[in-house]
Amino acid sequence: MNDKVLFWFRNDLRMADNPGFYEACLSGEVLPVYILDHNIDIGSASKWWLYYSLNKLNDSLQNHLHVVSGDSESIILDMCKTYRIERVYWNKSYEPFRINQDDKIQKVLAEHNISTSTYNGSLLWEPQKVTKSDGTPYKVFTPFYRKGCLQSEVPRYTVSAPKNLKLFKIPKQYGIKELGLLPSNNWYKKFDNHWEIGEVAAQEKLHNFINSGLNGYKEQRNYPFKKNVSRLSPHLHFGEISPNQIWYTII
């Protein structure tokens, strides 16, 4: 197929096991987009991480990542109209604001005959599938884990990074630098001594933890400076690695 489609990157800044991006690449020529949404507040440390994570992703996309700042709904609709895109793909987010935003965007796009496809790229099990027998959510962790998670269906298998990328490029309004993610002073430089950012770094950290950190985890897990703590949290938050990748690497 030679259709032009848009993939909307959010907290899924990776190539491998990105189900929405994988399906988009199967369906046509892809415009990869990241939107710094003005409706969502981001802390300074998160902006620092995001800046470098976007740069890593852009490298993987052969400098084809289109970054924009503004309102997600209007930007996506304008892009679809301008470049005659008839289908938009993205991975779901589960925060209340994001759920409402996604519903609204899907309705607006449908009014313009633009279809959407959404995927679970960030959870082992979707919330509505892990409930008690009466359909209500668990409120205590142990039964949630034992009866909800472990008795649920097997988590989605991972997918590889798309091969033979077919990406189309449009004139860029912004570069990643112009998003203004880094502060004017360099207080964030201290982070450079402690963190490697991006998809490759996340995988390396996972394997290092499995090989060197799991043994003794129970006794040492409360000491963040020790090797027995995975330090995968920010990588998971920004989607540089998925829970499914971790699950199937360990299992």
Does residue 210 belong to any structural domain of this protein?
no
Percent of the chain with pLDDT over 70: 96
- Averaged pLDDT, 87-93: 98
Residue with tokens 């607006």: 108
Domain with 130 in it = 122-155
Does residue 149 belong to any structural domain of this protein?
yes
Looking at the whole model, is its pTM more than 0.95?
no
Does residue 140 belong to any structural domain of this protein?
yes
Does residue 25 belong to any structural domain of this protein?
no
Instruction: Say how many CA atoms lie within 13 Å of 202 toward its Cβ.
Output: 27
Distance CA 75, CA 68 (A): 8
Does residue 190 belong to any structural domain of this protein?
no
Does residue 204 belong to any structural domain of this protein?
no
Q: Which of 37, 45, 9, 99 is nearest to 234 (CA)?
A: 45
| Whether pLDDT at 1 is above 60 | no
pLDDT digits over 199-234, tens only?
A: 999 999 999 988 987 777 777 666 676 677 788 999
Q: pLDDT value at position 2?
A: 65
Report the range of poorest mean pLDDT among 64-68, 74-78, 101-105, 215-219: 215-219
Count of domains in the chain?
1
Does residue 29 belong to any structural domain of this protein?
no
Q: pLDDT value at position 233?
A: 94
Does residue 198 belong to any structural domain of this protein?
no
Tokens of residue 235, six digits = 């990588």
Q: Which of 72, 159, 73, 162 is nearest to 121 (CA)?
A: 159
Backbone angles phi, psi at 112, to 5 degrees: -105, 20
Assess contact for 120 and 126: CB atoms under 8 A: yes
